[in-house]
């Protein structure tokens, strides 16, 4: 773009930006920022971006910053806006591809923080394969009220408690003011923090990327280091395809299972693996889950938060403990050496926040993949946040074809202990957009039904969800999956221990229902219409097929 006589017009445009002759000769580095006045997790990313650019200049590069879109899942929850959350992942990846192909650079630093923005940028990094690394904005500090720490998940649960009459309007308002005390990605091991931790676990982010709090100066220093480090990656010609190997994905999945990450991370890791060309499916994820103990129990499963994990060593400490059991590929390359280099300086497990292999919270991982006649292609549950009495549950179905209808039934007291709530036509194509179901799951918990009611959907769940909430049921209802055939009163077996999800209806009856079934008609417009036409099954990461 800038060399030789034929590029004189291009250089004249670069000079209009104020570039000097010396800068023309230096490497150009993109700073792909998702700063936004709209999203609490991204409000401070302008400052993070300035620190990254300072680091790039320190190391002899010329930074060029631009912004991407981003959807806050909390603000878009339980209304039409949530249809656009997962959809935004592909838009983010495509827009970055456009920007960095139309305006070539030598390297890039990506600044995400929340939900779909992290995997959207990872998809772009894989596709472009430039020397690059990630620096997130970091987690929010937990809220505190009357001496108890809590996060956004408890705020949604408070809505259910208020509807049940167990929480006053004044107390709800007090919790509202305390829940989100700082900028940053919401404080628990929700989707945003799960993905930022897993970016670090794959080796694409610096140590601490997932756990250093957003408000700490340490985060700014890390950002400056990231800017300096990307110049070293350029000199080494170290690219995502060198780092994101099958072994790196296995490391990330081991970390996911040990830390009890969001079910959404399954959706996103399979999509990222697809983009980089690494084979990864639900069978492999389930194998790793069965072999990997859960060593951390983080909010929403407890009152322990990401910042607490950071104080006892963060992800390097988690990997050190897993490596002690031979579960980590320590020779994997990262953006700053090898995994072995990272864990060499990490402390040993403290035994409480990070348990040892000998005394885990669970013998298997925090995420489980279920199979059965209701989910022939699989379904996903965050078993590390399920009450023990709900690990095996059989109950009558209560069917809803929209999230709003299910939420209304829950909040109006129409769901009874023992029920199995089924929310369908909310999958990637059927929603479209595979909405998160935090509102109904939190309402169930807040109303005291979390240990007696299961919730199943072909949509998905926020990382803030806890309870027997099974999502990503595939094939989805809109494509004729078995979940479309369920009727009120049908018995459904949810056996997380055996990884089973079954509709207890004779096959002859299901065949008759299938013959009479047809997909509902919808009126779609704009991007949602195009998305529904292109997107694949949730079991394959809800990607656009090649």
Which residues are catalytic, by number? 462
For 495: left if phi > 0, alpha if psi spans -120 to 50, otherwise beta; the answer is beta
How far apart are alpha carbons 254 and 152 in whole angstroms? 26
Looking up tokens 């990605």 gives: 185
Give how far the C-alpha of residue 506 lies from the chain's centroid of Cα atoms, to the nearest Å.
37
Give the CB-side neighbour count of residue 206, counting CA atoms within 13 A. 24
DSSP string for residues in 111-160: E--STTHHHHHHHHHHHH--SEEE----BPPPEEETTEEE-HHHHHHHHH
Q: Are the C-beta atoms of residues 108 and 100 closer than 8 Å to each other?
A: yes
Angle at 309 between CA 307 and CA 315, to 5 degrees: 115
Give the C-alpha separation, 397 to 374, whole Å.
Answer: 12
Quick count: other Cβ atoms within 10 Å of Cβ 278?
19
Three-state secondary structure call for residue 83 = helix
Spatial contact of 155 and 226, defined as CB atoms under 8 Å apart = no
Rounded distance between C-alpha atoms, residue 136 and residue 328, angstroms: 24
CA 343 – CA 350 distance, rounded (Å): 15
Torsion of CA 243, 244, 249, 252, to 10 degrees: 60
Structure token digits, residue 169: 């309007």
Query: Is the bond leading into 337 cis (omega within 30 degrees of zero)?
Result: no
Could you say which DSSP state residue 388 is in? G
HEC string for 148-189: EEECHHHHHHHHHHHHCCCCCHHHHHHHHHHCCCCCCECCCC
Burial class (CB in 10 A: 0-12, 13-18, 19+), 313: buried
d(Cα 166, Cα 150) in Å, to the nearest integer? 18
CA distance 445 to 135: 34
List the one residue out of 248, 209, 293, 231 whose CA is nearest residue 63: 231
């Amino acid at each position: 773009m800038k060399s030789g006589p034929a590029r004189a017009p291009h250089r004249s445009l670069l000079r209009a930006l104020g570039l000097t002759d010396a800068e023309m000769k230096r490497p150009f580095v993109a700073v792909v920022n998702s700063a936004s006045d709209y999203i609490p997790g991204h409000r401070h990313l302008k400052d993070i971006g300035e620190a990254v650019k300072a680091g790039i200049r320190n190391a002899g590069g010329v930074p060029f910053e631009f912004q991407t879109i981003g959807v806050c899942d909390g603000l878009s929850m339980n209304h039409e806006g949530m249809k656009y959350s997962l959809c935004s992942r592909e838009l983010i990846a495509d827009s970055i591809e456009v920007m960095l192909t139309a305006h070539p650079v030598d390297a890039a630093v990506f600044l995400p923080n929340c939900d779909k923005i992290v995997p959207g940028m990872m998809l772009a990094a894989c596709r472009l394969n430039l020397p690059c690394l990630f620096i997130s904005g970091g987690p929010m500090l937990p809220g505190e009220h009357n001496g108890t720490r809590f996060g956004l998940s408890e705020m949604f649960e408070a809505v259910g408690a208020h509807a049940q009459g167990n929480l006053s309007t004044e107390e709800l308002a007090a919790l509202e003011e305390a829940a989100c005390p700082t900028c940053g990605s919401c404080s628990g091991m929700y989707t945003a923090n799960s993905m930022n931790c897993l970016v670090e676990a794959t080796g694409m982010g610096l140590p601490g990327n997932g756990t250093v709090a957003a408000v700490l100066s340490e985060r700014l220093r890390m950002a400056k280091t990231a800017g300096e480090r990307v110049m070293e990656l350029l000199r080494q010609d170290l690219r995502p395809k060198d780092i994101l190997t099958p072994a790196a994905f296995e490391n990330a999945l081991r970390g996911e299972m040990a830390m009890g990450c969001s079910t959404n991370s399954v959706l996103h890791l399979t999509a990222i693996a697809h983009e980089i060309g690494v084979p990864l499916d639900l069978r492999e994820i389930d194998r790793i889950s069965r072999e990997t103990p859960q060593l951390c129990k983080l909010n929403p499963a407890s009152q322990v938060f990401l910042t607490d994990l950071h104080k006892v060593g963060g992800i390097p400490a988690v990997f050190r403990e897993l490596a002690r059991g031979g579960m980590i590929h320590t020779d994997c390359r990262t953006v700053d050496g090898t995994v072995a280099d990272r864990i060499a300086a990490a402390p040993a497990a403290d035994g409480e926040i990070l348990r040892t292999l000998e005394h885990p919270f669970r013998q298997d991982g925090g995420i489980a993949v279920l199979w059965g006649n209701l989910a022939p292609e699989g379904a996903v549950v965050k078993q590390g946040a399920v009450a023990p009495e709900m690990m095996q549950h059989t109950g009558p179905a209560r069917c809803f074809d929209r999230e709003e209808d299910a939420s209304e039934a829950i909040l109006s007291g129409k769901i009874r202990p023992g029920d199995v709530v089924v929310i369908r036509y909310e999958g990637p194509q059927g929603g479209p957009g595979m909405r998160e179901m935090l509102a109904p799951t939190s309402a169930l918990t807040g109303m005291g039904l979390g240990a007696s009611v299961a919730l199943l959907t072909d949509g998905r769940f926020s990382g803030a969800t806890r309870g027997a909430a099974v999502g990503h049921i595939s094939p989805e209802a809109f494509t004729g999956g078995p979940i479309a055939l369920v009727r009120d009163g049908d018995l459904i077996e949810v056996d997380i221990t055996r990884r089973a999800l079954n509709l207890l209806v004779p096959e002859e009856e299901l065949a008759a229902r299938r013959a009479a079934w047809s997909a509902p008609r919808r009126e779609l417009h704009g991007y949602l219409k195009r998305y529904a036409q292109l997107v694949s099954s949730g079991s394959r990461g809800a990607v656009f097929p090649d």
